[in-house]
Amino acid sequence: MIQKQIIPDSSLVNSYIKGDESSLAILINRHKQRLFSFIYSKVQNKDITEDIFQDTFIKVIRTLKRGNYNEEGKFLPWVMRIAHNLVIDYFRKNNRMPTFQNTEEFDIFSVLKDGSLNAEKQIIQEQIFADVRELVNELPEEQKEVLVMRMYKDMSFKEISENTGVSINTALGRMRYALINMRKLIEKHKIILVN
């Protein structure tokens, strides 16, 4: 029995860039089901899914034709990221942003902890982390410092207090204000923090 050789995505991308149109058809067929299911799981509407799917590949084609593709062998995650951004654009345009309960107990970081991630969720997770990093950078310096020590370095408030030279209560207060400000920034920038 002859083993049929599967051409890697990266080779197909390269031959498409060099002018072989059929390579793109192979790529689209290879990832169509996965991408379609991913988009549909977000918008829950077949027609909108079709539109976003087509828009995704229009963007893919434009980027490849302009020679701006440099995702070294990570074609599918790159395409998924484009689709995810288009889904967000769709929600923004239609003011149908999925919302979260804006309560005192709401912890932005609880949204980010999910052990079992498939490829699609991994991509969205990375986008969410990038969005959160940008939000953290918009915080006042002392709030950012406490939040980073607490959430990213897993330090106790006692350790934060010792490191920053402020009382535990001050550190707690800064953390509380950091989370309040993060919530305001999420609302302002209409960021989706759900998978």
pLDDT band at 102 (very low <50, low <70, confident <90, very high): very low
Same domain, 84 and 13: yes
Shared domain check, 125 and 62 = no
82 and 113 part of one domain: no
Q: Does residue 17 share a domain with residue 79?
A: yes
* One-letter amino acid for residue 19 of the chain: G
User: Which tens digits make up the pLDDT trace of 103-156?
Assistant: 555 555 555 444 444 565 666 777 777 777 888 888 899 998 898 888 877 888
Write the single-letter amino acid at 54: Q
Q: Is there a single domain that holds both residue 40 and residue 116?
A: no
Assess if residue 178 is contained within a domain. yes
pLDDT tens column, 33-91? 989 988 888 888 899 999 999 999 999 988 888 888 887 668 888 898 889 888 888 88
In a domain, 1, yes or no: no
Residues 113 and 77 in one domain: no
The radius of gyration of the chain's CA atoms, rounded to the nearest angstrom, is 21
Domain boundary among 93, 122, 142: 93
DSSP per-residue codes, 105-124? T--GGGGG--S---HHHHHH
pLDDT given at position 132: 78
Note down the domain range covering 143.
108-189
Q: How many whole angstroms separate alpha carbon 155 and alpha carbon 58? A: 46
How many domains does the chain contain in total?
Answer: 2
Whether residue 168 sits in one domain with residue 131: yes
